[in-house]
Structure 1
Amino acid sequence: MAKFRDLLVKFYRFMILVFGVFEISVIWAMSMFFTCFISSDENEITFFCKDKAPLNILIVIVFFAITFVLAKKSVITNFIGKLNDDAFFNQAKVIILWIITIMGILWVLITQYVPGSDQLDVMSSAYKYGVGDTAVVAAGGYLDRWPHNIGIATVERVISFFVGDFNVVFMQLLNVLGITLIYKKMVDTWEKLGGSRFSQICTLGCGIIFYPLIMYASFVYGNIWHVTLALISFDALVDYFDTKKSLCLAKCALAIGLSYVVKSSGILFFVALVIYAIVRGAIEKTKFYKVLLAIVIMCVSLGIFATVPKVVLAKSMKTELRESTGIWALIAMGLQEDGATAGWYNGYPLNVYYENNCDGPASEKAAKVELSNRLNYLFGDKHHAYEFFSKKIASTWIEPTYQSYWISQVRNHRVTFPKWLDSFMSAKGYTTAAKVFDIFQILIFTGTILWMILEDKRKFVDKAFLLLSFIGGFTFLLFWETKAQYTVTYFVLLFPYALTGFELLAGKCEAASAIKSANKPVLIYSALIIVFYLVGYKLDASHCLSNQNAAYDFYVSQWTESGFNESVYEINNIRAQMNAYNERIVDYIQRLEAEQKKNAEYERLLDENGIAH
Structure 2
Amino acid sequence: MKSFFQALYRLSCNFILMLSMIFTGLLFVAGFLFTCYADNMTTQQVLTRADNPLFHLLGVLIAGSAILLCCRLACKRPALGKRILLCITMIGVLLLGALLILFGRTAPAADAWSVYSAAQSLAGGDTSVIHPTDSYLSYYPQQVGLMAFFELIIRIWNFLPIGLEAYHFIKCLYVVLTCIIVFFQYKTVHLLWENDRADCIYLILAGTCLPMIMYSSFVYGEIPSFAALSVGLYYLLKLLKNMPEDKTMACDTPAKRYILPAFISLLGLTLAVMLRKNSLICIIAVVLVVLLEACFSGRKSLLIYCTLCITLSLTVLPITQKCYEFRAGNTLRTGVPAMSYFAMGMQESSRANGWYNGFNFNTYQESGMDTDKTVAISKAAITERQDYFKANPGYAASFYFNKFLSQWTDGTYASRQATLATLGPRHPAAEEFYTGKYANVYIEFCNLYQTIVYLGCFAGILITLLRRRPDRLYMWTGMISVFGGFLFHMIWEANSRYIFLYGLLLIPYAARGLADISNTSVLGKFRKNNTDRTEDASQKQPIAG
Q: Contact 2:189/2:199 (CA < 8 Å) preserved in 1?
A: yes
Distance 1:62 1:101 in 2: 27
Distance 1:498 1:77 in 2: 17
Structure 2 vs 1, CA of residues 281 and 135 (structure 1 numbering), >3 Å: closer, same or farther? closer
Letter in 2 for 1:150: V
> 1:47-66 residue pairs with structure 2 within 5 A?
47-60=47-60
- For structure 2, the residue ranges without an aligned partner over 5 or more in a row are 159-163, 243-253, 531-545
Moved more, 271-280 or 126-135: 126-135
For 1:258, which of 271, 274, 299 is the aligned residue?
A: 271
Query: Shift of residue 481 of structure 1?
Result: 0.7
Q: Contact 1:175/1:217 (CA < 8 Å) preserved in 2?
A: yes
Q: Contact 2:37/2:410 (CA < 8 Å) preserved in 1?
A: yes
Distance 2:66 2:148 in 1: 50
- The answer to whether 1:498 aligns with 2:498 is no
Distance 2:327 2:66 in 1: 62
For 1:436, which of 414, 423, 445 is the aligned residue?
A: 445
**Deviation readout 1:502-523 (Å, 9 max, x if unpaired):** 22123245878779989xxxxx
Q: Which position in structure 2 is the counterpart of 1:227?
A: 226
Query: Shift of residue 278 of structure 1?
Result: 2.3
- The answer to whether 1:113 aligns with 2:106 is yes
Letter in 2 for 1:357: G
Letter in 2 for 1:111: G
Distance 1:118 1:111 in 2: 20
For 1:80, which of 53, 68, 75 is the aligned residue?
A: 75
Q: Contact 2:97/2:217 (CA < 8 Å) preserved in 1?
A: no
Distance 1:240 1:152 in 2: 28
Distance 2:177 2:21 in 1: 29
- The answer to whether 1:412 aligns with 2:406 is no
Query: Shift of residue 8 of structure 1?
Result: 2.5
Q: Alignment partner of 1:323: what SS?
A: coil
Q: Which position in structure 2 is the counterpart of 1:461?
A: 473
Return the TM-score normalized by structure 1: 0.77
> 1:112-261 residue pairs with structure 2 within 5 A?
112-130=105-123, 131-134=125-128, 136-164=130-158, 166-241=165-240, 242=242, 244-261=257-274
- The answer to whether 1:28 aligns with 2:28 is yes
> 1:146-545 residue pairs with structure 2 within 5 A?
146-164=140-158, 166-241=165-240, 242=242, 244-283=257-296, 285-287=297-299, 289-409=300-420, 411-414=421-424, 417=427, 419-455=428-464, 456=467, 457-459=469-471, 461-509=473-521
Q: Contact 1:110/1:415 (CA < 8 Å) preserved in 2?
A: no
Moved more, 270-279 or 50-59: 50-59
Q: Contact 1:447/1:498 (CA < 8 Å) preserved in 2?
A: yes
Structure 2 vs 1, CA of residues 251 and 440 (structure 1 numbering), >3 Å: closer, same or farther? same
Structure 2 vs 1, CA of residues 437 and 512 (structure 1 numbering), >3 Å: closer, same or farther? farther
Q: Which position in structure 2 is the counterpart of 1:566?
A: none
Q: Alignment partner of 2:368: what SS?
A: coil
Q: Alignment partner of 1:35: what SS?
A: strand
Query: Shift of residue 342 of structure 1?
Result: 0.3
Q: Alignment partner of 2:37: what SS?
A: strand
Query: Shift of residue 376 of structure 1?
Result: 3.7
Distance 2:276 2:67 in 1: 39
Q: Contact 2:13/2:470 (CA < 8 Å) preserved in 1?
A: no
Letter in 1 for 2:453: I
Query: Shift of residue 360 of structure 1?
Result: 2.3
**Deviation readout 1:249-289 (Å, 9 max, x if unpaired):** 22111211111110101101111211222233345x252x2
Q: Contact 2:97/2:175 (CA < 8 Å) preserved in 1?
A: yes
Query: Shift of residue 453 of structure 1?
Result: 0.3
Q: Which position in structure 2 is the counterpart of 1:553?
A: none
Moved more, 112-121 or 454-463: 454-463
Which one has a bigger Cα radius of gyration?
Answer: 1
Distance 2:272 2:62 in 1: 41
> 1:30-49 residue pairs with structure 2 within 5 A?
30-49=30-49
Distance 2:290 2:283 in 1: 11
Structure 2 vs 1, CA of residues 413 and 515 (structure 1 numbering), >3 Å: closer, same or farther? farther
Q: Contact 1:405/1:430 (CA < 8 Å) preserved in 2?
A: no
Letter in 2 for 1:109: L
Q: Alignment partner of 1:350: what SS?
A: helix
Query: Shift of residue 315 of structure 1?
Result: 0.9
Query: Shift of residue 406 of structure 1?
Result: 2.3
Q: Alignment partner of 1:48: what SS?
A: strand
Distance 1:129 1:251 in 2: 29
The total of aligned residue pairs comes to: 507
Distance 2:62 2:121 in 1: 57
Distance 1:278 1:115 in 2: 40
Return the TM-score normalized by structure 2: 0.86
Query: Shift of residue 408 of structure 1?
Result: 2.8
Letter in 2 for 1:82: R
Distance 1:177 1:258 in 2: 17
Distance 1:256 1:502 in 2: 29
Structure 2 vs 1, CA of residues 64 and 350 (structure 1 numbering), >3 Å: closer, same or farther? closer
Q: Contact 2:127/2:328 (CA < 8 Å) preserved in 1?
A: yes
Query: Shift of residue 188 of structure 1?
Result: 0.8
Distance 1:351 1:66 in 2: 50
